[in-house]
Amino acid sequence: MSRPTHPDPDVDACAVSTHGLTRRYRGVTALDRVDLRVPEGAVYVLVGANGAGKSTTLRLLMNLERPDAGTAEVFGLDTVRDGPGVRAQIGYVPEHHDAGYRWMRCGRLLRHAAAYYPAWDPAYADHLGRAFGLKPDRRVGTLSKGEARRLQLVMALAHRPPLLLLDEPTDGLDPVVRRQTLALLAEHLADTPTTVLVSTHQVYEVESLADHVGVLREGRLVAQLSRDELRRTVRRYRVEVPEGWEAPPGLRGTGARRSGTGREVQWTLVGEEREVTERLALAGARVREVTPLGLEDAALAFLPEEGPR
């Protein structure tokens, strides 16, 4: 079965491309030869368990960390050789909620950020600040986790960057603000030509926006495909099997559940439907039903069943 990773689309049309990107921490490999391709204008969702390497990938793109091997490019600019040029294209929301200088007031911090981005749109920053209910007189150090996250989002969006790197952007937000944030993000994407690389555990939140998915598992990019490819190649199969049936080797799947009699199996499998059906039939199983999956369930098919996701 072919691996659903396509590392060689036209690199020139990529907002982000990495080549063998590797990062180790004291001998432990956090990111292992990752070849990421984020097409321009895409909303690319990076999925993976805790510690899979999602945040590390984003930090490497910002040149906040240096790779042990490999290279990364943003709009054709090398992240190490042209770090400032790369960061000028990026609106970054980090994993942590440390929004800047704790002693500073929110309004001052926004003016500080504005000085660094010639494309800063003050009217838009005001609009976002009001929409998020930010109080310019509040000190950054007194903000709650959710308020700090909203401030980070304003700083990331207000210069209308060509690329947004969002690391768990809705983390710490209450359900109302979370919905509002996603609506503002959708509005931003409609108004501004932007590529988004978002790392999240809550894939369902960005399901309506996402058009590409990458799955990281233990530092390796195990899948990278478009939304359409994902919907086409990852499906749930209801299969009737003979007694004592063993699955054919090489089938990639997850979430296998047998019915009470053991004669029926429900299984999420990866691969072209015709190919999977043929292989199951050759192994003596009979496919009764094939159903497409939502983005989150489809992405989870690439992650191990055991352990946190």
Partner 1 sequence: MMQPTLHSTPRPRDVLREQLRVTGSALRLPFLVPAVLLVLAALLVAGLTDARSPADFHPESQMLPGMLGLVLPIAVWRGERHFGAGFLWTLPVDRRRHALAKVFAGWAWLISLVAIFVLWLLAYTLVTGGKVQPVEALWILPPRPFPAHGLVDPATLRTVHWTPEPLFWLVPFTAATGTYLLASAAVLGLRHPLWWIVGIGIAIVALDGVGALAHAPWLRMAPGRVLEPLFYGPYGFDALLTARIQSIRTEATLATGESVVVWRTMPDLRLWVVATLLWTGGGLAALWAAASRHGERRPA
Q: Is residue 159 within the footprint of partner 1 (CB under 8 A)?
A: yes
With beta carbons less than 8 A apart as the criterion, state whether 178 and 150 touch: no
Q: Cα(73)–Cα(269) distance, rounded to whole angstroms?
A: 33
In order, the DSSP letters of 1-55 are ---SB---S-GGGEEEEEEEEEEEETTEEEEEEE--EEETT-EEEEEE-TTSSHH
What's the closest the beta carbon of residue 101 comes to partner 1, in angstroms?
4
**Considering beta carbons, is residue 118 or 308 the nearer one to partner 1?**
118
Q: Is 41 in the site for partner 1 (CB under 8 A)?
A: yes
Segment 184-243, which members bind partner 1 (CB under 8 A)?
A: 193-195
Written as six digits, the tokens of 23 are 């990062």
With respect to partner 1, which residue has the nearer C-beta, 170 or 194?
194
- Candidate list 16, 48, 53, 59; residue touching partner 1; CB under 8 A: 59
173 residue type, one letter: L
Report the candidate in 274, 288, 200, 209 with the shortest Cα–Cα distance to residue 241: 288
Q: From the list 1, 49, 64, 290, which residue makes contact with partner 1 (rule: CB under 8 A)?
A: 64
Indicate which single residue of 49, 88, 251, 293 sits in contact with partner 1 (rule: CB under 8 A): 88
Stretch that binds partner 1, among 158-166, 180-188, 221-229, 274-282 (CB under 8 A): 158-166
Task: Verify binding: residue 104, partner 1, rule CB under 8 A.
Answer: yes
> Which of 7, 51, 85, 107 touches partner 1 (CB under 8 A)?
85
The reply on whether position 108 binds partner 1 by CB under 8 A is yes
Q: How far apart are CA 209 and CA 42, in angstroms?
A: 9
Q: Is 83 a residue that touches partner 1 (CB under 8 A)?
A: yes
Q: Which is nearer to partner 1, 102 or 286 (CB)?
A: 102
Contacting range for partner 1; rule: CB under 8 A; set: 103-111, 171-179, 198-206, 283-291? 103-111
Residue 107 and residue 72: Cα distance in Å, rounded? 34
Pick left, alpha or beta for residue 221 (phi over 0 → left; psi -120 to 50 → alpha; otherwise beta). beta
What is the spatial distance between Cα 259 and Cα 265, in angstroms, rounded to a whole number?
A: 6
CA atoms within 13 A on the CB side of 254: 14
Pick 36 or 86: Cβ nearer partner 1: 86
Site for partner 1, rule CB under 8 A: 13, 15, 23, 39-41, 59, 62-68, 75, 80-81, 83-89, 92, 94, 96, 98-104, 108, 112-113, 115-119, 159, 161-162, 193-195
